[in-house]
Amino acid sequence: MCKDKQTIHYCTILSTGQWDFLLKGKFSAFRQKCLHRLMTGAVRARTVYKIKGVEIVLEVGQVAASDVELAEYLGCNRKTIGKLVDSLNRLGMLTTRTNNRTSIHTLHFLTGWYVGGVLVTNPHYVRPSATTKGETGSVRTPLSDDLPLVGEQTIVPGGSQSGVRNTDSTTALFPSLCSPVIPTPSENGQEVCLSDTNRTPDDDGTESPKEAQDGTIGSETYPNTGKRI
């Protein structure tokens, strides 16, 4: 098994502001782990993602991961993840499209991969000159309720799945920008998040049963100290 395992090198380009957001503050490790999960999950060949009986195409440089999935992976609640993903969108690192099934994240900071000494480029990489100070000023974009149907049949290297082209999306832009400062509780003392960005949940508003390692949404208790925030 080990002989067949490929060595993968990830090629990334980040601005000073993006590095500051990832490295500064007590939640820096949490942010890096989330970004690493998205980066390593991005596909290097066009493929199909199946969820709840619906097939959704993933192009090179995209990854499917809902807020609930990321919350379970990182051990926090869904609202905390949602605000972090929105911050990554505003900083120009991702473009996220959501629907009632999952979220499709397109990575713009990843230029490509070296796999077995061969370079695979990411067509969704965005050069720094294409943005202003590394920020886009947008948050995730909701998808239409009608997901694309499977049309073109494409054989994916290393598998037998088929893929289709995505056909429609609805753009939702907001003027607020993210500030990569250490988060502080809100005025009512009931919310601690990974950014200062307000965000409305894109699902039914239910929380993940797990508490955030870094602080949770709502009046919950830290597991180690017993203190309420």
Would you state the pLDDT for residue 22?
A: 96
**Cα dihedral 31→37→39→44 (10° resolution):** -170
pLDDT at 129: 74
Q: What is the pLDDT of residue 142?
A: 56
Number of domains making up the chain:
1
The pLDDT of residue 53 is 82
SS3 sequence of the chain: CHHHCCCEEEEECCCHHHHHHHHCCCCHHHHHHHHHHHHHHCCCCCEEEEECCEEEEECCCEEECCHHHHHHHHCCCHHHHHHHHHHHHHCCCEEEEECCCCEEEEECCEEEEEECCEEEECCCCCCHHHCECCECCCCCEECCCCCCCCCCCCCCCCCCCCCCCCCCCCCCCCCCCCCCCCCCCCCCCCECCCCCCCCCCCCCCCCCCCCCCCCCECCCECCCCCCEC
**Per-residue model confidence as pLDDT tens for the chain (229 residues):** 455 678 899 999 999 999 999 999 988 999 999 999 999 999 999 999 888 788 889 999 999 999 999 999 999 999 999 999 999 999 999 999 988 889 999 999 999 999 988 999 999 999 887 555 545 455 565 554 444 434 444 334 444 443 433 434 333 333 333 344 444 444 444 443 444 444 444 444 444 444 434 443 343 433 444 444 4
Q: Which residues contact 92 (CB under 8 A, 6 or more apart)?
A: 15, 18, 108, 109, 126, 131, 134, 135, 136
Q: Domain containing 181: what range?
A: 1-229
Query: Of 115, 103, 88, which is closest to residue 32 (Cα–Cα)?
Result: 88
Q: How many CB atoms lie within 10 A of CB 164?
A: 18
Whole-number pLDDT of residue 17:
95
Q: Which pLDDT belongs to residue 57?
A: 92
